[in-house]
Structures are given as C-alpha cells and as structure tokens.
Structure 1
C-alpha cells in the first residue's frame, strides 16, 4: 500500500516547484515509509511513498514503460497482474520488474483509458503520458483506495491519496462546503464525490479523470457501477458451492505477498469466512488479530477465539482499556475530514495490533452490503411491504400522527422503541431509508444549524442525495436499490474510508476479498430472496459456510464493532461534553445554534435522551476545526471569519 501526490498544468508546461511536490508527498509518509520517488518536469509533478509488498527490490516508483514515455504512481494491488503480464508480454511488451505496478503502464499503452476495465484489484493511480501530454487518474470500482483532486484557479490540478496532501498546497481554497457539512451531520461522513472543502473533490469509485493540456474543465468518467439484477435462482447447494469457489479464488488472489500476511478476526460472520478460506489455502497457521474493549456488550473476543481454535491460527488478541479515549483528539488528524463513525477507534487499535505481527491483513468488510446483512435492510423490507399496501396519501397522515404521538423511549427495550419505525412509514422509500440510517434526524439538524448555515445550504438537504442515487439504481427491487445506494454512499464514504485511514496510519495494507469485483458482480445476480429469508440476512452466504464456521457464530445476533461512547460522555468525558456549547472552534465557525447544542448536552447527561451519535459528531467536527481546518486556513489567511466561510 502506498501514497501518491502530484500536479498537472492544464494550460501548458509551466515550471513545477519540486519542493512543493515533495512536501505534498511527504504528508503521506505514513502510507509508505519504505521508499519515495518523484518525476518532475515542466507542467507535471508526480510523487510517491511506497509500502513495499510485492517485488521488494524492483518495485520503486514511478515505474516507466520501455522508452520512459509513460510513468505511473500507484496505490493498491492488482491481483491479476501475473495473467496481465503474460497477456501483455505475448503482445510484445517488455517487463523490467515483477511488480504488479508495471502492468498498468503497459496496459495503458495497449488499451488506453479502457485499461482500468482489465484491472482486478484495489487501486488509485496517476499515469503520465509524455507523448499524449496528459495525466490519467483512476480509482477502483468499489472505492477501496482513495483519491482526492482539486482544479486550482491558475489552471493546475493537484491530486493525492489523502486530503492532507492537497492541504500542503498554498493555493487550495479552504472554504468549507455547506453541503458537505450537512451531509456529515446527516450521515457521519462526507459522501463521494464531495470533500469538506468546496474546492476539493474525491474521484468517485469506478471513475477515471483524464487531464489534458488545453482542457479547462476535465470531467470524471464512470467505467463501472454496481448492479443487482437478482436474476439467478436455483438449488441452495449448487449456489452455495459456486459461492464458496468464487470466494476461495478471491481470497487466494489476496494472499500473494512477499511480506508477512494475516487477517482480522472479529468473531463475526465475514471475518470468520475469510479466515476459514485462508486456512484451507495455506499449510502454515494463519496470523489472526483481534481486540476487545473489555465491555461485554462490545466483546466478540470469545467468538474470535473459537474460530482461532478451530483453525489453529496464530492468534493475537489484545484487550484495550474500556476507557481508551485518548484517540479522540487524534482521529481528526488521521481522517482530515470530519468522520463520526465511533468504530474508527477500535479499527485504529486492531490495525495497530496487526501491524506488530504482519504487513498485510485481509478483512471481511463488504459482506453486509453484498449479501444484505444489515438489520436495517430487514426493517426496510418490512416497511416497503406496508408502503406497497397503503398509498402515501393515507400512510403519510396516519403514521405521521402516530409517530408524533408515540413517545421517544431511547431507554426502553427495542420492541418498544417504535417511534422511528412509525416516522419512517410516513415517508416515501428514499426518505424512510434515510431516516433509518441518519446520524441525526432532519428536525434536529434544523434546530442545530444557525440562520447563516441554513441560508448557505440554499434548500439542500441530504435526503436529496439518497433520492438521486435511488433514481439511478439499475433495479426495481427495493432491497437491490438500497444495496446500490449503500455502495454509492456508506461503503466508500464510511466503511472503506475508516479502514483505509486507520490501517495506513500504521503502514498496514488491508485487502478486502468480499469486495472482489467479479465476486460482487456474481452476488449481484443472486435473487434477493436468497439473501434475506424471514429475519435471516445473508441467508445464502451463511448456508454455504455452515461446514466452515460454527453455527453459534453464523446465527448469533449481529454485535457490531463499537465502543461505549455514550458511557464516556456521562463519565470520563463529561467535562468535554459539558463545554461543547462554548467550544471556541464551534462558536467561531458560525455554523451552529449554541442553545441547540446546550439542549442536546443537558438531555443526554440527564438520561432523558440518548444523543450519543449527534454529540460524537459535534466532538469530531470540533476536532476537525481545531486540528485541521484552523491550522490549514491560517496559511492563506490570518484570521477565522465569524460567519461560516462558505463564500
């Protein structure tokens, strides 16, 4: 795994500041501590930080083609590189290394922009073609690897693996994007293609961006999008056998490495499936890593140990202090943008533990999105049945009134907490699903935002984003539609961002076999009825695994990977929460109503309401303002504006 940074001049071949490109690249040293390399010439600069995984001696980047007319800096792994090498060699290309990176430059020579369609893996890269006078940016299909870019006013385009590389450039406008702020407080992350800054963007998953001299307005091009046709049905045994064969291949390809390799083992279904496959594919015991916070409600360590014992893995388990909240101040610097998924804390710790033993780790991320594993999918399925039976004209007033009258009982057992379900049933499909996944509901965000923030939003609200994605979904099935929606928003924006930043903070490469794109494409053809049966999500996946994973792991309730943030707020972090309304960074931003923050804090601390998620989002946003935004904004300007800096 690596980090890349660079710039390209759309207006010609003006001189490039070598020191600036080096500084942008050095901001990513954590992603690649083993080596660095640069290409600097008029109009273009490429920088690379390398984490050596394959061809340790020969994989220095940038890597060039035979006549040095094409160069690439690359972050990721191409798992079918050996097959591509054979094919490209037969077509007359000559390889100087055995690195997967070199296949990219020859694939570009042979197939041009369509080269990405031949790549199987996780990747973000910048390729420079001297003869054509262009830079080609690309990101993998599912968005496993990140890539940010910004078109500067002077006609230069800067790009990098993380936002921190772009923030080194003095000409990047640090104006916050009000829509990104709204998205963050609605979802807990900033979804692609937005970034927290209006002048910067993420290249979306499955997209490329061709930068050519003379082209003032480059536009990303989509080369792949998830599809859930659901047209494959048949005997469970036959489908289960095919699933296992395809998953085994995806895991096998991700076990190619010239450095120590292992796996995360949480004790859940997906990580257990990956470890089971790895154990059948190698003779040596698999290195497995697990952490626990010592809190029973969050502790899956016994299940992880059961899997480790079954497959005789070399298991490394670490119990973390349940009051391990020191990371709260560090997370904003790790993520650059505001990020409010509290499972970033244990993810950071498990990556830290894994890096003590291996340099590459396989994870089970993606299984819930691919095979309908989240509980919210089941609830959406139930709600859609009601929506189909009752027209909106009747359903809206009926359930809207019931939702308003039903008390908010965060403290009660789950069956009694029906308010959210009633409110969701009053809405259409897009708004109902948004309501079920949102970090804070629409009315709470309305109370939280200042008048200036509301003006700058110009009517935009995040549910519009959900409606747009659902309208584009290539399926009429309601479950397939929200799978598509999650793969456009939650998967790249939350899950994959969380793992990428946490792992790269420790120079650890994480590979995700359940997001192997041929595997995802095949799973997308499996009928939704074989993924969700009754109350059982991931039905086909679990049935196929019954001879590989213990029944108690496959069919226990999903626990998640969390930390006791709500308890922290009423205990050791109480002082921080009590002072949130008067936090100088939040106050100076001009984004929020102080009285609304105070009300949330009082209600949470008294136990009247559970505002854990909204308060965590405010803590993370304050941390971003203090540790990223204010520091970076002082480079081009000396003072912070009291009004939101949106214009």
Structure 2
C-alpha cells in the first residue's frame, strides 16, 4: 500500500521541480515508510511512497518499462496479477519483477484502457505513456483507494492520494466549498466527487481521468464500471454459492510477502472472513492466523463473541479495550483525515489498526457486507416503510401520517418502541426522501438553523437529498431494497466506510483488505432478490445460511452491535469545553455558524433532555479542522486510541 502524487501539464513542457515533488510526496509519507521515489520529465512529475507488500526487492516506484516509455505510480493490490502475467507473457511481454505494478504497465501496452476491466483488486494509480502523450488516472470500482485532483491556475493538473499532497502544490486553493460543508453536516462526510475544498475533487469510484499531451480542455471523470441496477432470479443453492465465492475472494486477497492477519469483531462479516482465512493459513503451514479485536466496556463489547470465533478457528488472538477521550480525539481526527470526518468509529478503528500493526503488515476486514448483503437496520425500516407506502395513497400518507408525525413528541432517549416520530415521518414521505432521512446525521431544519445567515445564502438552495434521490432513480423502481443499497454504494461506502479504513490503516502503515468487496462478489450479491438478503426483519440472511457450518449460532443470529462507543455522556460532562471550542476561536472567526443556535444545541444536550452527541461530534471535528487550518498545522499522526 502506498501514497502517490503528481503534476501534469498538457501544454507546458516545463520539467516539474524535484524539490516540489518531494514536498508533495512527504505529505503522504505515512502511507509508505519503506521507500520513496520521484520522477520528472517534460510535462510531468510523479512521486511515490511505498509500503512493501509484494516483491519486496523489485517493486520500487515510480516504475517504468520499455526504456521509460511508460511510467506508473500505483497504490493498491492487484489480486489477479499472476493470471494477467500469463496472458501477457503469451502475447510476448517480458517481465523484470514479480510486482503487480508491472502487470498494469504491460497491461496498458497490450489493452489500453481495457486494462481497467481486467484488474481485480483495489487501486488508484497515475500512468504516463510518453510515446502516446497520454496520462491516465484511475480508481478501483468500489473506491477502496483514494485519488484527488485539482486544476491549477496555469491549466496544469495536480493529483495525489490525500488532500495534504495537493495543498503542498502552489496554486491549489484552500477555499471551503459551502455545499460540501452542508453535505458534511448532513451525512457525516463529504460525498464524492466533492471535497471540503472548492478547488479539489475526488475521482469517483469506478472512474478514470484521461488527458492527452496538447489538449487544453481539463479532463472530466469517465465511468468504466457500474454496479447492477436491477435484481435477477434467485440462483439455485445461493448460500452454497455465496460461501464458495467468499472463500475464493478471501484466499485471493491473502497474497502477501509480509505477515498477514485479520480484524475480528463480534459480527458475522469479519467472523466469516476469519473462518476462511484461518483455514487457508493452516493449509499454508505458516502458523495460525493472527486476529485482532478492540472492545468497549458496556453492552456493545465485542470481545467475548470474537474470542469464541478465535477459539473455534484456532487463531492467534489479541484483544484490547478502547477508552478514548473523544473531546481530544475530535481535533486529532480532523488532522488525520485532512478534512472534517464525522464517523466517530474512526477512533476505535485506528486503535485496532495500530494493534494489528504490532504483528502484521496486512489485515483482512469484513467491510462491505452490510452494503452488499443488506445488513443495516435502516434497510429493514426502509422496506417496512415501502410496504406501508404501497398500501396508502400518497395524499393520505402526507396529510394523515405527516400530521401525526409532527404532533408526536421527539423522544431521543426513550425506548426504541416509543420513538415513532421518525417512522411516521418516513412513511409519510416519498421513497427517496424517506430513505434520505434515515441516513441523514443532522436533520435538515436543525442543520440549516446552525448556519449563519450569510452562509445559508452561500448555499444557494443546495439540497443534499437530491444526490440520494438521483441515485435511487437509476435503479429498478420495483426493487426498493436494491435502490437503497445502490445509493449507499455510491455515497456511504466510499465516502465514510472506505475513507475511514484507508486513512486509519495508512496512518498505521497497515494495508487493509476487504474481501467482500471483490467486485464480482459485489455484482452477484447486489443482484440477489430482496428475499434472500432481508428476511423476517433480519439482514444478510443468505450469508447467515452460508456460514452456518462455520460459525456459532448465537453469533449468526444475535443482535447487531455498532463499532463505536456511546459518547453522549462524555459530552455532557465536557459541556464547558464544548462551549469554549464551539462558541469561540476558529468557529466564531469562520462566520459559518450562528453562535446562538450552537449554544442551544450544547445546552439541550448538557441538560439531558436531548441527545445531540452526533451533531456535537461533527461540530467538534469541524472546529478541529478550522483550528488546524488557522495554525497551518502540518499533517501529524495523532494517537487517538487512548487505550
């Protein structure tokens, strides 16, 4: 796993400064502590930081072939590179290393853009073909690895794995994007293709940028892969096929020349990965698989369930407890991610990454299972709401249920069965609007009330819901579950889950691989009919069936736990610090927020009458981001674990 950076100018043949390229590369040095390299020639400069995983001696980058005719900087892993090598050797290509990076170079020479369709893995790379005068930036299908880019004032292009690398390039603006700020408060992250900066974009998952020497028009992202938008008939023996597909994906992703382990929580997804990986490790005679767990004190502690799986499959298991100070961690998260990031499970995720890195360089994870096989509770509520919508005419829903929802008290801290306001509201709304409300972190009315009048005017009618609605409209209207999954696959998965795992693992110099996101498995899983994914109010039904021979029944059918601590109590005790940070300093100077509205949010939470912990966390992270900007803080790697 690595960090990549680059500069390209299609018209100006100036050779980029090596000092500038090294400055940009240094901004992502944590992504690759094992090596560095830069390459500069007319029109182009490339830089790379390497975390050595495969071909430790021969995989240095930037890598070139054909006497420097084609050069690449690459971040990721290509799991089918051996099969590609065989095809390319048969076509006459000669290899000089065992590195998967070289397979991309020869694949480009043989297939051009068609190489993207042949790659199986996670990747973000920049490839320069000097003979053709062509630059290609590409990102993997699901967005596991990041690629950012910016058009410079002189018409050039800057790109890199993280925002800090681009901000090190002259001419890249650090002006905030008002729409991105609202999206952050709405979703808890800034969805692709935007970033928090108006002048920097993220290359969307499954897209590439392509520009030829001499072209004056800035390149635009082009899609090369799209997940299914309609389900198919249920395959025979779906559970058996899923087990076989998942085992194949796990074994393919255990490719490494360095120690490899796996994360193990109390959930079905990671336990399924461990079951197959432990068996493969035993067959390989390299000793038992190493597994790692972070737990929390209280009802969400996953350590007992993880220990039971570890014992069953004979893994070498390590577990620790996370007791983080989230008031301190909020500022550190802002620095770590380079922009506001509102998922506070990033804190324990960094802790488990650092725990794993003590023993291994690569770890497998269960990420993606909830999106691909419908594991989130919100899918169940969405389908219940869809059933109710189908039974009630729209005018009745809007008038009767909408009125009831407005009259029903908002009982944040009551038992779940008494919290009907959100359910009534969702049913009263149309499908996309209702689903948006289930994924929205800070509701529209409250969120917009937090902004100052000037900032509300700058938003110019921006509506975060429109993104969800447009994505759901791309799907078969007869499959509302797939429509919700499809929306998450384009927003929540690449914008939250995969950003979180990439930044925290790279901060620890750990490579993290999620086998469930094998793109062929994703295509197959998404296209399953809803009845196989969600049955009897339980998600991932077909996965639970598939893993019945391998996992304890209580884990397969037990309640789902979130991988995060409850932070509301810390914020009530820390109310004076909340007031100090959210009502003064960088927050006040920014002019973005209405101090009186923020003050009310703090007081309502501190009194115990409402739970605003999510909104307060997001504001605290935003305050940390603003403070780091004001201080010109260099990107650091803070210890968020607190264990």
Aligned to 2:82: 82
- Whether the 8 Å contact between 2:331 and 2:624 is mirrored in structure 1 is yes
Secondary structure of the 1:399 match is helix
CA shift, 1:225, in A, is 1.1
Aligned to 1:250: 249
Instruction: Give me the CA root mean square deviation.
Output: 1.4
Q: Does 1:291 align with 2:290?
A: no
User: Within 1, Cα distance between the matches of 2:227 and 2:253?
Assistant: 21
CA shift, 1:15, in A, is 2.9
Q: Does 1:137 align with 2:140?
A: no
Aligned to 1:47: 47
User: Within 2, Cα distance between the matches of 1:578 and 1:32?
Assistant: 39
Q: Does 1:509 align with 2:508?
A: no
CA shift, 1:579, in A, is 2.1
CA displacement 1:324-374 (0-9 Å, x = unmatched): 764333111110110010100000100010000100000000000000000
Secondary structure of the 2:294 match is strand
User: Within 2, Cα distance between the matches of 1:556 and 1:289?
Assistant: 21
Aligned to 2:604: 603
Aligned to 1:644: none
Secondary structure of the 2:632 match is helix
Deviates most, 208-217 or 553-562: 208-217
- Whether the 8 Å contact between 1:336 and 1:628 is mirrored in structure 2 is no
CA displacement 1:281-306 (0-9 Å, x = unmatched): 1213110001123x213311000000
Aligned to 1:578: 579
**Aligned pairs for 1:50-199 within 5 A:** 50-199=50-199
CA displacement 1:64-94 (0-9 Å, x = unmatched): 1233200100000000000000000100111
Secondary structure of the 1:7 match is strand
**Aligned pairs for 1:193-232 within 5 A:** 193-213=193-213, 214-232=215-233
User: Within 2, Cα distance between the matches of 1:477 and 1:519?
Assistant: 19
Q: Does 1:525 align with 2:527?
A: yes
1:470 to 472, 475, 478: 472
- Whether the 8 Å contact between 1:66 and 1:94 is mirrored in structure 2 is no
CA displacement 1:560-588 (0-9 Å, x = unmatched): 100121111012x3332132442311111
CA shift, 1:477, in A, is 0.7
User: Within 1, Cα distance between the matches of 2:294 and 2:306?
Assistant: 9
Aligned to 1:538: 540
CA shift, 1:95, in A, is 0.5
CA shift, 1:133, in A, is 1.4
User: Within 2, Cα distance between the matches of 1:399 and 1:586?
Assistant: 39
CA shift, 1:396, in A, is 1.0
User: Within 2, Cα distance between the matches of 1:254 and 1:62?
Assistant: 24
User: Within 2, Cα distance between the matches of 1:211 and 1:612?
Assistant: 45
- Whether the 8 Å contact between 1:585 and 1:625 is mirrored in structure 2 is yes
TM-score, normalised relative to structure 2 = 0.96
Deviates most, 497-506 or 447-456: 447-456
- Whether the 8 Å contact between 1:227 and 1:474 is mirrored in structure 2 is no
- Whether the 8 Å contact between 2:262 and 2:274 is mirrored in structure 1 is yes
- Whether the 8 Å contact between 2:190 and 2:495 is mirrored in structure 1 is yes
User: Within 2, Cα distance between the matches of 1:132 and 1:440?
Assistant: 49
User: Within 1, Cα distance between the matches of 2:239 and 2:438?
Assistant: 31
User: Within 2, Cα distance between the matches of 1:629 and 1:379?
Assistant: 43
- Whether the 8 Å contact between 1:3 and 1:48 is mirrored in structure 2 is yes
Which structure 2 segments of 5+ residues have no match?
Answer: 635-643
Secondary structure of the 2:33 match is coil
2:370 to 368, 371, 380: 368
Aligned to 1:276: 275
User: Within 2, Cα distance between the matches of 1:15 and 1:141?
Assistant: 32
Aligned to 1:639: none
User: Within 1, Cα distance between the matches of 2:584 and 2:271?
Assistant: 43
Which structure 1 segments of 5+ residues have no match?
Answer: 634-647
Inter-CA distance 482–287: structure 2 relative to 1 (3 Å threshold): same
Deviates most, 5-14 or 355-364: 5-14
- Whether the 8 Å contact between 2:575 and 2:602 is mirrored in structure 1 is no
Q: Does 1:594 align with 2:605?
A: no
- Whether the 8 Å contact between 1:365 and 1:512 is mirrored in structure 2 is yes
Aligned to 2:234: 233
CA shift, 1:159, in A, is 0.2
CA shift, 1:53, in A, is 0.2
Secondary structure of the 2:122 match is strand
User: Within 1, Cα distance between the matches of 2:329 and 2:55?
Assistant: 35
CA shift, 1:275, in A, is 0.1
CA displacement 1:574-631 (0-9 Å, x = unmatched): 3321324423111111111111101100000001111011111100101111114662
Q: Does 1:547 align with 2:549?
A: yes
- Whether the 8 Å contact between 2:148 and 2:160 is mirrored in structure 1 is yes
- Whether the 8 Å contact between 2:229 and 2:474 is mirrored in structure 1 is no
- Whether the 8 Å contact between 1:79 and 1:254 is mirrored in structure 2 is yes
